[in-house]
Structure 1
Amino acid sequence: MLEISTDWGCYPFVTDRGILKTFIEQQDLKCSLAELESIVKPIFIRNVQQAIEVSPAKEVLGAKNFVSHLLDSDKYVVSIATGGWGETARIKLESAGFNVEKLEITSSNDHFSRIKIMQLAKSKMNQTGDYPITYFGDAEWDLKACEQLAVNIVIVGSRVNHHQRIQNFSCLESALRFVK
């Protein structure tokens, strides 16, 4: 039996597809990324669905109001870039009460690299200009990707230290003051 390490920091691409890609390379498997993904992904999606049925996803305090505020404003363009697969991102967001129909989600379905996912998220919004981007994340790999792309980042929660950090979105003004 083969096991995947859950030490996410040891993977060059900390995304669902990136972890599988690295796993194939490390184990010298004789299957393609697409082949392994077609086996693993449906099982993973089913496992997430079952876990959500037992314990629904919880909104980070104030996040729905924050996202709604951005979506309702003509000052902002909103796009989600996630290292998870799109299907599981939607399951989790819906479980937490978000209206996913209003959200443009770019995910590990689109690429194995977090940086490329972020670049694709921008291009999907038909934004070719050099406008400011603010990324809200919660992990070291978010910091690294934003640093490489020179993107403004706000850390949510306390997993990572960063000079721009909020605990949650309960104070709309506090979150908005970091948006460029």
Structure 2
Amino acid sequence: MKLIIFDIDGTIIDSVNTDDDCFIETFYNLHQIDLTNVDWTNFKNITDIGLTIEIFQKYYNRLPSTKEIELIKNHFFELLNNRKEEFTEIKDSLSFINYISKIPDFQIGFATGGWKETAELKCNYVGLDLDEFIFKSSNYHFNRAKIIERVIDEALTKNNINQFETIFYFGDGIWDLKATEELDIEFIGVDFKKNNKLKKAGVKRIIENYETQSKIMNWII
């Protein structure tokens, strides 16, 4: 059996720009912290909770409280909800997920650096029900590799096996690539914006969208 795990933002949904805008606006509205020119790659853990922790450490020299995290998450959710019409699926991503989810030899999971609530908002809007799959988010851990690891662990338990034949992770960020290298699992890059960042990082298997289904299947079968 093979495990196929998908990131969400920039991998199956075109949501990165809106997500960045709303995240930046959230911290400005609630804490008057200007992240307009921030380079996310300068952070250690590029997940919603990971970024929140590091921002608090940088600007306040302390960790955020549970209440502060909830306020940030809720405000972020409302901003995204007001712009949800901007979320669209990356071409044929949903049909591809639907197709492979029906193959008995495949287990499907989702691991996102976003919060559970905002990931569900985006996926519900484009027509993907995460309740049908194994799904983990930064609600579970601040580290992306640990989030992916939790999907793997649950998938092993669900299928009552000790290991998968192969594990593939679809992602769009350099941080996704680094997480798969840490876990020693296979990586397939998604570059629908054609910025070539993954190619420059040495990734060999890259798609712009899921239209080339036969090529993807040749990689994962």
**TM-score where L is the length of structure 1:** 0.91
1:73-104 Cα shifts (integer Å, max 9, x gaps): 11101110000011111111122222333122
Q: Residue 170 of structure 2: SS of its match in structure 1?
A: strand
Look up the match of 2:34: 3
Q: Residue 44 of structure 2: SS of its match in structure 1?
A: coil
Give the alignment of 1:65-80 within 5 angstroms: 65-80=95-110
Look up the match of 1:108: 138
Look up the match of 2:25: none
Q: Residue 168 of structure 1: SS of its match in structure 2?
A: coil
Contact kept in structure 1, 2:57 and 2:63, CA below 8 Å: no
Look up the match of 2:177: 143
Q: Residue 53 of structure 2: SS of its match in structure 1?
A: helix
* Number of corresponding residues: 178
**Aligned partners of 2:121, 2:38: CA distance in 1, in Å?**
22
For structure 2, list consecutive stretches of 5 or more residues without a partner in the other structure. Answer: 1-31
Q: Percent identity?
A: 24
**Aligned partners of 1:65, 1:32: CA distance in 2, in Å?**
40
Look up the match of 2:47: 15
Looking at both structures, which has the greater relative contact order when contacts are Cα pairs under 8 Å and sequence separation is at least 6? 2
Matched, 1:168 2:194: no
Contact kept in structure 2, 1:21 and 1:33, CA below 8 Å: no
Q: Residue 146 of structure 2: SS of its match in structure 1?
A: helix
**TM-score where L is the length of structure 2:** 0.75
Q: Which moved more, 1:4-13 or 1:16-25?
A: 4-13
Give the counterpart of 1:87 among 111, 114, 117. Answer: 117
1:5-64 Cα shifts (integer Å, max 9, x gaps): 6311011000000001111211235553523211100000111111104x2x11111111
**Aligned partners of 1:31, 1:174: CA distance in 2, in Å?**
45
Q: Structure 2 vs 1, CA of residues 96 and 6 (structure 1 numbering), >3 Å: closer, same or farther?
A: farther
**Aligned partners of 1:31, 1:8: CA distance in 2, in Å?**
19
Contact kept in structure 2, 1:80 and 1:105, CA below 8 Å: yes
Look up the match of 1:39: 71
**Aligned partners of 1:103, 1:111: CA distance in 2, in Å?**
19
Matched, 1:153 2:187: yes
For structure 1, list consecutive stretches of 5 or more residues without a partner in the other structure. Answer: none
Give the counterpart of 2:153 among 117, 123, 132. Answer: 123
Superposition CA RMSD, Å: 1.7
Q: Residue 220 of structure 2: SS of its match in structure 1?
A: coil
Q: Which moved more, 1:4-13 or 1:123-132?
A: 123-132
**Aligned partners of 1:7, 1:94: CA distance in 2, in Å?**
29
